[in-house]
Amino acid sequence: MDVLETVSDLREALAGPRRGGRKIGLVPTMGSLHEAHFSLIRAARAECDTVVASIFVNPTQFGPGEDLELYPRTPELDARGCEQEGVDLLFTPPVEGMYPPGFQTKVTVEEVSREYCGRYRPGHFPGVATVVLKLLNIVQPHAAYFGEKDFQQSAVIRRMVGDLNIPVEIRLLPIVREPDGLAMSSRNRYLSGSAREAATVLFRSLEAAAERVRAGERSAAAVLKTVREVFEGEPAAQLQYAGVADDETLEPVESIRGREHLLLAAFVGDVRLIDNRSFEDALG
């Protein structure tokens, strides 16, 4: 595995594979890698000839007062993990390499970014869309791999790729969960004993909602009431939002038909967690 820090070095390293007609896969990450990231790398490894992973803690997707400084950074472990999973090229640009002096362009995917995380983290999705577009332009992969845990992020990226005619296949991989259901996240490492236990409320509320759908409920409002009730039983966690949204537009829906996701965000102490679920399996 080669580790490259500059755009020109990475482009040079990709010139041969591109000329040779090899399929290039990109796994963009912010590092602090765990099983969910490795599942993306494995999928890329299985489907592509040349696998590029990027590790870049993107400052523009963090708002003031968010955890940019505290965001976990484990560069040596990450590099070892990438090597073990068969990454060919690891791109680790410095901030000034991605945002040189004078940088001023921002990509905004208006409507898909508006609700849910977008409402509580203004500036987050423009930051994500801009850095993902930059990475897609730098690597020009045939396929790029993202996790479904960040469902709204994936909808923003899918919309951007469609709207801007970017020639890449966006591959979405399922959420990877701990045995008790907690969705894997780099921020889980901040959860101590009782908070870690309380954090399972996200998964429990999603499952309780799916149970209602399985029993015949189709009203989004009723399902969201169930989510709130599960949270009421877990005082260590505060629900920030819960909504049932159309898979493509992310517009809130009133009834569940099979093309929606239940999205939620919650604080456990000062750790913010997100999770989501489709109802496809519950509709029968």
Residues 71/29, Cβ–Cβ less than 8 Å = no
Q: Which residues are catalytic?
A: 37
Most distant CA atoms of the chain, gap in Å: 58
From the CB of 4, what's the least distance to ligand PAF, in Å? 17
CA distance 221 to 114: 20
Q: Tell which one of 78, 88, 148, 150 touches ligand PAF (CB under 6 A).
A: 150
**SS3 label, residue 177:** strand
41 makes contact with ligand PAF (CB under 6 A) = no
Q: Tell which one of 32, 39, 50, 58 touches ligand PAF (CB under 6 A).
A: 58
From the CB of 172, what's the least distance to ligand PAF, in Å? 12
The CB density around residue 240, as the number of other CB atoms within 10 Å, is: 16
From the CB of 158, what's the least distance to ligand PAF, in Å? 13
- Pick the stretch among 17-25, 66-74, 126-134, 232-240 that binds ligand PAF (CB under 6 A): 126-134
Angle at 267 between CA 212 and CA 120, to 5 degrees: 95
Q: Cβ closer to ligand PAF: 58 or 278? A: 58
From the CB of 186, what's the least distance to ligand PAF, in Å? 8
Q: Cβ closer to ligand PAF: 128 or 256? A: 128
Q: Count of residues binding ligand PAF (CB under 6 A)?
A: 10
Q: Tell which one of 131, 206, 230, 282 touches ligand PAF (CB under 6 A).
A: 131
Angle at 133 between CA 253 and CA 44, to 5 degrees: 85
From the CB of 207, what's the least distance to ligand PAF, in Å? 24
CA distance 113 to 125: 6
Q: Which of residues 17-36 bind ligand PAF (CB under 6 A)?
A: 28-30
CA distance 282 to 284: 6
CA distance 280 to 146: 20
From the CB of 22, what's the least distance to ligand PAF, in Å? 23
Q: Cβ closer to ligand PAF: 52 or 220? A: 52
Q: Cβ closer to ligand PAF: 92 or 153? A: 153
Q: Cβ closer to ligand PAF: 17 or 72? A: 72
Nearest of 230, 259, 229 to residue 244 by alpha carbon: 259
CA distance 78 to 57: 13
Q: How far is CA 208 from CA 182, 221, 225, 234, 280, in A?
A: 14, 14, 10, 14, 15
Q: Cβ closer to ligand PAF: 78 or 234? A: 78
Please report, as ranges, the residues that interact with ligand PAF according to CB under 6 A. Answer: 28-30, 58, 61, 128, 131-132, 150, 153
